[in-house]
């Protein structure tokens, strides 16, 4: 039985159809990747699964039972935890305080600091995250390490399904590799993972299933044995073209690419949007 199953799910915001006819399944010890360009509907999809928004059509089932979550709390009670890209951490607080943020272990009238320190350290170690010191402010960790702390925290607090919204988007190659490794760790521990990304090279090595979104519709839903890395990359070709554009710009190539980038920038200014931002 699937932990999470969506069948024909759609979402309208007023007249705007953000999603339609989406099928998706996540089982125990499985990673489902959701790929798509800006505006494809990735965030809308995970907001539905996370209980932030309700779907307008189709069915959403958890452990074979249809659900209509009214809040993220209700989803969390079913073991569905979400790690958002802009992690809600308190940068100046130690790692262990952030690990237990909002779920502090109490002892009498105060907090059981010793327990929390020890547990945070052990849990991180169990995931293979060896921090020198859980006493250091979480703000001093790299972006990748912070994602890893968030993942291990969700595992500790009993998540069965872990949703990761573009955890590697802001990371370099090495840090991305670290986060991908913890996605596999979570899978090994039996969790179902929903991994949102723009990047087929991040998705392919860790994914068991791949859902490709474009303008709110499914471009395809594949199991790993049904698609190759090259095919996945080709399907995401929109993204590849953009990458080429940015390489051209990096090389200081003026000309057409620079003109196009300028135009895009101007357009987004007029529309009052920042490219790459998540609404
Ligand atoms: N609250 C909302 N009200 C109206 N329209 C919305 C709302 N949220 C999203 N949309 C629209 O739904 C579509 C899908 O948006 P969504 O944020 O899900 O895309 P995304 O794949 O997450 O994009 P990105 O990669 O930029 O984060 C877009 O056209 C967006 O403008
Ligand atoms: Mg988004």
How high is the mean pLDDT of the chain? 86
Q: β-pairing, 57-62 with 65-66? A: antiparallel
pLDDT on residue 115: 96
Say how many Å lie between the CA of residue 18 and the centre of ligand 2.
12
Task: Indicate if the pLDDT at residue 278 is higher than 50.
Answer: no
Point out the ligand 1 atom lying closest to the alpha carbon of residue 277: 26
Please tell me whether residues 44 and 90 are part of one structural domain: yes
Please tell me whether residues 158 and 226 are part of one structural domain: yes
Residue range 45-67: average pLDDT?
96
pLDDT on residue 23: 97
Nearest to 194 by CA among 7, 47, 10: 47
Task: Indicate if the pLDDT at residue 96 is higher than 60.
Answer: yes
| Beta strand ranges found along the chain (DSSP E) | 4-13, 16-26, 30-36, 57-62, 65-66, 80-83, 106-107, 110-111, 161-165, 192-197, 209-214, 217-223
Ligand 1 pocket check for 43: Cβ under 6 Å: yes
Please tell me whether residues 201 and 254 are part of one structural domain: no
Domain count across the chain = 2
pLDDT on residue 145: 84
Please tell me whether residues 209 and 75 are part of one structural domain: yes
Ligand 1 pocket check for 232: Cβ under 6 Å: no
Q: β-pairing, 16-26 with 65-66? A: unpaired
Please tell me whether residues 166 and 181 are part of one structural domain: yes
From edge to edge, which strands make up the β-sheet containing 192-197?
A: 80-83, 161-165, 192-197, 30-36, 209-214, 217-223
Please tell me whether residues 260 and 221 are part of one structural domain: no
For residue 18, the ligand closest to its alpha carbon is 1
Ligand 1 pocket check for 13: Cβ under 6 Å: yes
pLDDT digits (tens, 9 = 90+) for 210-229: 999 999 999 899 999 999 99
| Beta strand ranges found along 174-257 (DSSP E) | 192-197, 209-214, 217-223
75-90: string of b/e by CB count within 10 Å (b at 16+)? Answer: bbebbbbbbbbeeebe
Containing structural domain, residue 126: 4-231
Of 231, 248, 266, which marks where a domain is finished? 231
The encoded tokens of residue 211 equal 């859902």
Please tell me whether residues 258 and 135 are part of one structural domain: no
Band (pLDDT 50/70/90 cuts) for residue 102 is confident
Task: Quote the percentage of the chain above a pLDDT of 90.
Answer: 56
Of 192, 212, 231, which marks where a domain is finished? 231
Exposed, middle or buried: residue 214 (CB in 10 Å: 0-12, 13-18, 19+)? middle
Please tell me whether residues 191 and 218 are part of one structural domain: yes
What is the CATH number for 25? 3.40.50.300
pLDDT digits (tens, 9 = 90+) for 123-153: 998 877 788 889 999 988 888 888 888 888 9
Please tell me whether residues 106 and 70 are part of one structural domain: yes
Please tell me whether residues 264 and 223 are part of one structural domain: no
By alpha-carbon position, which residue is closest to atom 5 of ligand 1? 13
The span from the CA of 144 to the CA of 171, in Å, is: 7
Please tell me whether residues 13 and 150 are part of one structural domain: yes
The span from the CA of 50 to the CA of 81, in Å, is: 7
Band (pLDDT 50/70/90 cuts) for residue 66 is very high
Please tell me whether residues 141 and 246 are part of one structural domain: no
pLDDT, greater one: 243 or 265? 265
């Amino acid at each position: 039985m699937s932990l999470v199953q969506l069948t024909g799910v759609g979402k309208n915001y007023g007249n705007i159809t953000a999603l339609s006819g989406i099928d998706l399944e996540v089982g125990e010890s499985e990673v489902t990747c959701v790929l798509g360009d800006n505006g494809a509907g990735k965030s809308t999809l995970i907001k539905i699964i996370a209980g932030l928004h309700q779907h307008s059509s189709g069915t959403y089932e958890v452990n074979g039972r249809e659900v209509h979550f009214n809040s993220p709390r209700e989803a969390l009670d079913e073991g569905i935890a979400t790690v958002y890209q802009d992690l809600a951490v308190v940068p100046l607080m130690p790692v262990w305080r952030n690990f237990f943020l909002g779920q502090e272990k109490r002892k009498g009238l105060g907090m059981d600091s010793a327990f929390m320190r020890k547990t945070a350290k052990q849990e991180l170690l169990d995931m293979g995250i060896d921090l020198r010191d859980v006493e250091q402010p979480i703000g001093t960790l790299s972006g990748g390490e912070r994602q890893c702390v968030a993942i291990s925290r969700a595992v500790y607090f009993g998540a069965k399904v872990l949703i990761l919204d573009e955890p590697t988007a802001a990371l370099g190659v090495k840090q991305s590799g670290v986060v991908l490794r913890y996605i596999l760790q979570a899978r090994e521990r039996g969790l179902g993972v929903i991994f949102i990304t723009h990047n087929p090279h991040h998705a392919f090595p860790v994914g068991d299933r791949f859902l490709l979104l474009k303008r709110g519709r499914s471009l395809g839903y594949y199991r790993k044995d049904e698609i190759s890395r090259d095919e996945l990359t080709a399907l995401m070709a929109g993204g590849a073209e953009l990458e080429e554009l940015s390489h051209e710009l990096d090389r200081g190539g003026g000309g057409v690419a620079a003109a196009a980038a300028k135009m895009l920038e101007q357009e987004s200014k007029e529309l009052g949007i920042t490219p790459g931002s998540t609404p």
